[in-house]
Chain A
C-alpha cells in the first residue's frame, strides 16, 4: 500500500505482485482442462471486479450497469473480427476502445449519488440489452466467428491472465496517482472535493472510462473465446452484478478485494457444484452469502483481515486504542 520514491523501493513493492503473477502463470500447468476453463472465468471476474472497484470502491460511485460496456466490448470485437481483421489482439483492443468511447452515455447520470446513480446505471445497462435485442435480433442470428482456441489450449488462460494483470496494473497506478487521491476525496465528500479544486466531473469521467475500457476488453475476449454471442448473453445483468458481488465479498475499496473475492467465489461455486447439481441451491447460497457478508462483515474478507491485523499490530506496539482504526474500506 505504501509507495516508495526510491527505485529500489518501487521494485520491492512490486515484488509480491510479480511473484503472484509467476504463480498465476504456472497454475494452469497443473490443472485439468475443466479447471483451466474455470480459471478463465475466475480471471474474467478479477478483471470485471478490479475495474468496478475503481469507480464503485475507490470513487464511491455505485454503478450497476457494467454489462453495457461488457456487451459493447463483445460486439465491438466480434464485428471487428468479422469485417476488419480476425487478429485476436486487435479485435479485443478495439472492443475495449469502443466500450471506453461509449463512457459519455453515463455523463448525464454523473450528478446522481448512491442508490440513485445505481438505479440510473442499472436502467442504462438493461436498456442497452433491450436495444441490442432489437438491433441484433435473436439467437438464431447471433454473431459467429471461427474458433480461435483449440479445445485443450492454454492460450485462453494466458489471454485472460494478461487482461487481468493489465487491469490490476492500471488500477494500481490509478489509485496511487493524483487521480486516485482525488477520487477518494470525492467518495468521502464530493462538495469538499470540489471546493479544494478536484475536477470532480472530469475525474469521474476518467475513472469510468478506464473501467469501461477494461470491461470492454473482458467482453471482447469473452466473445472471441466463445466464438458466438447474442445480446441476451453479453448484455446480461450478471455482468453488472458479478463484479459488484466479488468486490463486496473480497472487500470493497481495497486493492486485493476483488481478486480475493473472485477466487473465493469461483472456488465456492465449484465446491457447491460437487455437492449438488441444482442451480437453485447455487442461487440460495449466492443470496445468503451476500446477505451475511453485508450484515456481518461489510468490509469483506480483505477489509476485515486488514482491520484485525491492524488491531493486533497496534496491541503489539502496546498502544491502547479505544476506538476502531479506520480502514480504507470505510
Chain B
C-alpha cells in the first residue's frame, strides 16, 4: 500500500478537494471577518449555482465554464436580497440567533430546491482529457478546478490589496469602529463583502457540479467542511483558509486511502472539536 504513486495520487486528490473547500470557506471567512456573522446558508449559494450550471448544461447544452461566469450575476442578485432582508438585521445579534436564522434560510433554500427539482442525485456529464504525470492521474475538470481556484485567489489578492474598497474591507475587518471613525462606509463594505463571498461560492458551485453529484442538501454537507477549514485557519483569515483547506483536503484523502473511507467523514468534525478546544484562535489567528 505504501507506495509513492499511491501517496502522490492521494495528495493530488486532496488538493483537488481542497480547491472546492476553499470556495465555501472563503465566503464564510470573508463574511465572518468583516461582519462577525456566521452564514450557514453559504453552502446553499453553492448548491443553487451547481443546479444552475447543471440545468443550463442539461437543457441547453451550455458549457459549464460559460455558466460558471453566468452564475456570478445571478448569485449577486440573490446575495443582495439575502443581505438586505436577513444578514443586515443580524449584525450584532446573539450568536445563537445568527446561527439559527441563517440555518433557517439554508433549510428554506434546500426545501425550495427539493420542491422544484426533487432530492435525486444528479450528475453533470462533462469530461475533459485527464492530466497524467508519471503514475499520478487527475481528471481534466479537477485540473481546471484547481486553476479556477488559483484565479479566484489571485483576484481576491488584487481586490483586497490593490483596490480602494478592498482596503476598506481590510480596515473594517481589523477594526470596525476604527474604520467607521476614519470615514469608511461600513455598510457598503458589508454589502460588498457579502456579495464577494456569494460570488465566490457560486463559482465553487459550478466547480462542485463538475466533480460531484448535484442535490438539494449538497451544500449542507459542505458547510461543515467549511467550518472545519475556517476554524483550523483561524476565523476570518484568508491565508488560514488556504492552508486549512489543503490540510483538510489532504488529511481526508489520506484517511480515506490508508485508514477507512467511513472515518474520513470524521476528519472535519474531529478538526472542529480538537482545534476549538486546544487552540481556539486557529493556526493563523491571534488570541482573542
Whether the pair A112, B276 counts as a contact (CB closer than 8 A) is yes
Contact digits for B69-113, partner A, Cβ 8 Å, 1 yes 0 no? 000000000000000001001000111111111011111111110
B38 at the binding interface (Cβ < 8 Å): yes
A276-288 vs B, Cβ < 8 Å mask (1 yes, 0 no): 0011111111111
CB distance from B256 to the nearest CB of A (A): 13
Asked if B155 is at the interface (CB within 8 A of a chain A CB), the reply is no
Interface contact A109-B277, CB-CB below 8 Å:
yes
Which of A32-40, A123-131, A144-152, A178-186 has 4 or more CB atoms under 8 Å from chain B?
Answer: A123-131
Question: Does A13 lie at the interface of the complex (its beta carbon under 8 Å from any beta carbon of B)?
Answer: no
Q: Are A109 and B100 in contact (CB under 8 A)?
A: no
**B contact residues, total (Cβ < 8 Å):** 41
Q: Which residue of B lies closest to A121 (CB)?
A: B273
Residues of A within 8 A of B262 (CB): 130, 133-134
Q: Is the beta-carbon distance between B266 and A281 smaller than 8 angstroms?
A: no
Answer yes or no: A193 CB below 8 A from chain B CBs. no
Q: Is B23 an interface residue (CB 8 A)?
A: no
- The 8 Å CB contact of A290, one of B103, B263, B265, B277, is B103
Interface of A is mostly: helix
- Dominant SS at the B interface? helix
B38 → chain A, closest Cβ, in Å? 6
In this assembly, does B55 line the interface, its C-beta being within 8 Å of a C-beta of chain A? Answer: no
Q: A114-B96, A130-B266, A295-B86 are in contact. Are A120 and B273 (CB under 8 A)?
A: yes
Residues on A with C-beta less than 8 A from B86 are 291, 295
Contact partner, B273, options A124, A279, A291, Cβ 8 Å: A124
Alpha-carbon distance between A108 and B108 when the two chains are bound, in angstroms: 34
A114–B38 CA distance with the chains assembled, in angstroms = 12
User: Across the interface, do A115 and B99 meet the contact criterion of CB distance under 8 Å?
Assistant: yes
Q: Is A171 an interface residue (CB 8 A)?
A: no
Bound: A118/B114 CA distance, A: 27
Tell me whether A131 and B266 are in contact (CB under 8 A). yes
Do A280 and B269 have beta carbons less than 8 Å apart?
no
Residue of A with least CB distance to B216: A280
CB distance from A59 to the nearest CB of B (A): 12
Q: Which residue of A lies closest to B262 (CB)?
A: A134
The residue of chain A having its C-beta at the shortest distance from the C-beta of B38 within the complex is A115
Q: Of B93, B94, B109, B111, which is in contact with the most chain A CB atoms at under 10 Å from its CB?
A: B111
Q: A281 to B114: give the CA distance in the assembly, Å.
A: 9
Q: A120-B272, A120-B276 are in contact. Are A130 and B96 (CB under 8 A)?
A: no
Q: Give 3 nearest A-B pairs by CB, closest first.
A: A290-B104, A287-B107, A283-B111
**Chain B: residues with CB nearer than 8 A to chain A?**
38, 86, 89, 93-101, 103-112, 114-115, 119, 224, 227, 231, 260, 262-263, 265-266, 268-270, 272-273, 276-277, 280
Q: Can you sample 5 A-B contacts with CB below 8 Å?
A: A115-B96, A282-B111, A291-B101, A294-B101, A298-B97
